[in-house]
Each structure stands twice: as C-alpha cells, then as structure tokens.
C-alpha cells in the first residue's frame, strides 16, 4: 500500500467509518476522543443545571430582600386598563350629549300641537333664539308663571298659560321683544 491509501484508511478508522483491524492505534485514539467528549458533555450538563438553579436562587433572594423589584407597570396593568376604559366611556358619552342642544330648559324637541281653542302665537326674530327663550322663561317665572321651552328645526317655542287674575301684573312687565301676552294660552316662536 502506498502512503496515501494508508493515510485514508487511518483517517476513516479514526472517523469511525470503518473498523479496520489493521489500524488499532486509530481505534484507540477514536475511543479516547469519544470518552473525553462524553466527560466534557457531562460537566457542561451539570454546570448548566447548577447555573440555572443558582440563578433562580439568586433572583428569589434578591426579591425577598426587596433589592429586585417587579416593574411598576406590570402590577398596575389591569387597573390602568380599567381606568382608561372608564375615561374613554365617559368622554364618548359627553361627546354624544354635546351633539344635542344642552339647554336644560328645553322640554321636548318638538312643540305640542294644540287642537281647538285659541292660542296667542307671537313670532319673534332674534340672533340668539336660545338666549332669548331662556330670558323669556326667567321673566315669566319672576311674574309667577310657568313656561315650557320646546325646540325644533325652525327655532324655540315658549308656551305658557296666562290666567285672568295675573293678566294685570303680567301686562305691566316688559318682556324681550315687546311681547304682550293675552289671557289664555300663549305661544312665543323665536327664530333667527
């Protein structure tokens, strides 16, 4: 055999590809390498297990001694989420309420329709119908009358009844727009 073939045979026996009885030193070197490899792997496995346990013990000890704290946000995640949800719900409800007329004096969105009987309808034009309607209700309230405000797309309606016994007192008062109510049912329509 030539040297190249001997070298190939020896390397194949060392690699474990062939078990050639003619190359006992290659088999012996191979078994030594495998044994050392197993010992090294065992040491690595033992140290990895002890490192993991040591790390866990260290973390436990640090938490127990209050040196290592949990992140602030992790403890408050649920309460903060609930608070944020409530804030959003409140803001959305205020937004939807803000779309409507927030005038608390408005009784209904449309005035009632009176059938039969007479009604004194007075039309009043004003640049700010809501303000005028509130002022008129306040003035009627000071005169001892109960007035109701209604609103629709045309403007504001103020309905009130004027009894005979109060007509003299109410007739002497000045109302916005020079309104002169009559005895009975009165409706003041305020538009722009």
Q: What is the pLDDT of residue 99?
A: 45
Under 8 Å CB-to-CB from 163, ≥6 apart: which residues?
A: 183
Q: What is the pLDDT of residue 104?
A: 53
Cβ 188 vs Cβ 176: under 8 Å: no
Domain boundaries, the chain: 3-58, 72-98, 106-191
Residue 103: pLDDT over 60: no
Give the pLDDT confidence of 42-84 residue by residue, as tens digits.
877 777 666 777 778 878 888 887 777 666 666 777 888 899 9
Under 8 Å CB-to-CB from 185, ≥6 apart: which residues?
A: 114, 117, 118, 119, 120, 159, 160, 161
Residue owning tokens 């449309």: 110
Q: What is the pLDDT of residue 180?
A: 74
Most confident of 87-101, 106-120, 140-154: 140-154
Cβ 181 vs Cβ 121: under 8 Å: no
Write down the pTM of the prediction: 0.41
Q: What is the pLDDT of residue 86?
A: 92
Q: What is the pLDDT of residue 85?
A: 92
Q: What is the pLDDT of residue 138?
A: 86
Give the E-state strand segments of the chain in sequence order: 106-108, 119-125, 147-152, 155-162, 184-191
Give the pLDDT confidence of 121-136 residue by residue, as tens digits.
888 888 888 888 888 8
Residue 112: pLDDT over 80: no
């Amino acid at each position: 055999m030539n040297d190249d073939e001997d070298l190939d045979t020896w390397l194949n026996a060392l690699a474990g590809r062939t078990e050639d009885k003619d190359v006992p030193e290659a088999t012996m070197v191979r078994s030594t390498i495998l044994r050392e490899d197993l010992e090294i792997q065992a040491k690595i496995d033992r140290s990895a297990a002890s490192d993991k346990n040591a790390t866990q013990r260290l973390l436990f000890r640090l938490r127990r001694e209050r040196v290592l704290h949990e992140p602030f946000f992790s403890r408050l995640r649920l309460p903060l989420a609930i608070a944020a949800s409530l804030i959003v719900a409140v803001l959305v409800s205020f937004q939807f309420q803000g779309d409507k007329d927030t005038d608390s004096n408005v009784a209904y969105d449309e005035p009632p329709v009176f059938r039969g009987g007479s009604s004194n309808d007075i039309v009043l034009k004003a640049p700010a119908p809501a303000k005028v309607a509130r002022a008129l209700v306040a003035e009627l309230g000071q005169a001892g009358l109960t007035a109701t405000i209604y609103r629709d797309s045309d403007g504001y309606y103020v309905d009130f009844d004027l009894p005979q016994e109060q007509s003299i007192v109410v007739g002497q008062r000045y109302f916005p727009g020079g309104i002169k109510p009559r005895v009975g049912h009165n409706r003041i329509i305020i538009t722009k």
